[in-house]
A and B are shown apart, each in its own frame.
Chain A
């Protein structure tokens, strides 16, 4: 159980805005194990992106600030490391790719340059060997005619190709961990599938650990080993992919799975979860899902539920399963 290479402990990240303090990540703890694909699942605004950004301390520091917790990587707390040490790790041991490849690539530099950048920085290779390596990476992620395309600018690539280029850049130094923030959300369905294939290959061939952030249940089903369901800046439920899909325990997860239209069942109406996503400014002291939960009990309003163990690695933050 303990081949965890990344341990997040009680991470708290708040954003200080004019309207109040947004507690985007409010006490989140989990492990990432070697060779596994862990999905952070949740709707927009639940804090999953903020969590991922906090790992590498990429949160925009005027409004946001990491208030507490630890991110243990090989015995080192990344939240306490020096800037220099952090920069050694970024792009090198832990790499991250983002949602919209169009805006994530710098429009005034060639794609080749941008892939070679981390290679030259971390691996300290010269121009020629760096280019060789970049070419092989581009081939690995499935960019055809790599030699010519290296000199292209991002806007000359299609969406799927751009994302592949981003992945190539992220993989360039053979990182141990890849954090992917909604990498397929902005892409067409067919391209989505192709990109997911790349991720699957990475996991298998390189034993890479992937932290995959998404709101799409279909994607999760296709790629996850374990799933963490987030809501309101906190973890609602976590477990293996079977745990979550076959025997979900949290009312929110029930709601999520119920929302899905399925071919096999006939239904009169879609059943969305009643209510709205809560504001993360001044969250209640009890369970944050309380107002939308059909099964709420008085205790739910008083105190925030801890994470109760259902079995093995399946945990739930809900008093129903105490």
Chain B
């Protein structure tokens, strides 16, 4: 990449990300519109018990949400509102959606962050070790466990952990206590089971990536050169192999967010009663509180988008083969 090439790349990538964001929002809108029941029906379903005059309510809702206007107009309003930060009103909680999110995102964040730290540090270490000691018993055991790890349904794992450790052994509470201060040891303890639940599946996957990436690099010629220079094995692996293997590993981990992490976090929050965005969205579904559901889905997509963007740029920046061309 020529000088300034990195900058150009970043700009192009940002534009692309913006287009994707646009696409995401549009698809969401389309999905909503082609659904069998209109948002007004859902809203109505919620409050119909409390009103004598459904027709008037429908009118009011339609006016408020602009549902009587033509579709294109609705689309533009929708876009503008999203951009402006007016994400709707959650009638099941009587809060603006944006406020609801503000109050709850931190719980999801801490869960996901801790799980990823747990999963990636252990996973990568085990993966590299497994690759270096290929064909030994340790390797087979680690591989076997990673098979198990990716096969266990993570929601079942959560329940089993609760069964054993909370119900039978009583070591942990069955339900997350939100009263705990965030940076306390008690909070950490309360998060142990959820993090294990969410992290195990992730870790098993990461172990596989780390192992295969390391194996790929162990076969390369520069490893032989490093050894021929008389470098101790720990430097050969720890410096030469590691620096080549780690970049693809981290990239895959980051790009995997959309598939594994969010779905798992959603379920984990529900099982353990952690009031993160997943749980909020879940409650909103059963309350037919559609603005919340839409917004949280969009937030999920946007986080994935941002993560992909950042990972892409960082990877380009870090890999000398791309940067100095």
- A–B touch (CB < 8 A): the answer is yes
B324 touching A90, Cβ below 8 Å: no
Chain A residues whose C-beta falls within 8 Å of the C-beta of B134 in the assembled complex: 62
Specify the main secondary structure of chain A where it touches its partner: mixed
Q: Which A-chain residue is minimally distant from B217 (CB atoms)?
A: A106
**B-contacting 9-mer, from A28-36, A93-101, A203-211, A228-236:** A93-101
Min distance, Cβ B26 to any Cβ of chain A, angstroms: 40
The reply to whether the CB of A44 lies closer than 8 angstroms to some CB of chain B is no
The reply to whether the CB of B86 lies closer than 8 angstroms to some CB of chain A is no
The reply to whether the CB of B28 lies closer than 8 angstroms to some CB of chain A is no
**B-contacting 9-mer, from A117-125, A191-199, A216-224, A266-274:** A117-125
Number of B interface residues at 8 Å Cβ cutoff, please give it: 23
Number of A interface residues at 8 Å Cβ cutoff, please give it: 32
Chain A residues whose C-beta falls within 8 Å of the C-beta of B240 in the assembled complex: 106, 109
A87 touching B222, Cβ below 8 Å: no
* A104 touching B243 in the complex, CB below 8 Å, given contacts A58-B227, A117-B229, A118-B230: no
The reply to whether the CB of A308 lies closer than 8 angstroms to some CB of chain B is no
Chain B residues whose C-beta falls within 8 Å of the C-beta of A319 in the assembled complex: none
> B135, B228, B320, B325: which contacts A90 (Cβ < 8 A)?
B228
Q: Which A-chain residue is minimally distant from B235 (CB atoms)?
A: A121
Q: Which A-chain residue is minimally distant from B320 (CB atoms)?
A: A153
* A107 touching B231 in the complex, CB below 8 Å, given contacts A98-B221, A98-B225, A100-B221: no
A104 touching B229, Cβ below 8 Å: no
Question: What are 15 pairs between A and B in contact, CB < 8 Å?
Answer: A62-B135, A87-B230, A87-B232, A89-B230, A96-B228, A104-B222, A106-B222, A106-B240, A106-B243, A109-B243, A153-B321, A155-B320, A155-B325, A156-B325, A169-B225
B230 touching A98, Cβ below 8 Å: no
The reply to whether the CB of A105 lies closer than 8 angstroms to some CB of chain B is yes
The reply to whether the CB of A64 lies closer than 8 angstroms to some CB of chain B is no
B231 touching A108, Cβ below 8 Å: no
A58 touching B224, Cβ below 8 Å: yes
A152 and B320 alpha carbons, distance in the complex (Å): 9
The reply to whether the CB of A214 lies closer than 8 angstroms to some CB of chain B is no
The reply to whether the CB of B244 lies closer than 8 angstroms to some CB of chain A is yes
B225 touching A166, Cβ below 8 Å: yes
Min distance, Cβ A207 to any Cβ of chain B, angstroms: 22
Could you tell me which residues of chain B, from 216 to 253, have a CB within 8 Å of some CB in chain A? 220-222, 224-232, 240, 243-244, 247
A117 and B222 alpha carbons, distance in the complex (Å): 13
Min distance, Cβ A39 to any Cβ of chain B, angstroms: 20
B321 touching A106, Cβ below 8 Å: no
Chain A residues whose C-beta falls within 8 Å of the C-beta of B225 in the assembled complex: 97-98, 104-106, 166, 169
Could you tell me which residues of chain B, from 260 to 306, have a CB within 8 Å of some CB in chain A? none
| Beyond A98-B225, A156-B324, 10 additional pairs, beta carbon < 8 A | A87-B231, A91-B230, A98-B224, A104-B221, A106-B225, A106-B226, A108-B243, A108-B247, A109-B240, A117-B226
* A56 touching B231 in the complex, CB below 8 Å, given contacts A100-B221, A103-B220: no
The reply to whether the CB of A279 lies closer than 8 angstroms to some CB of chain B is no
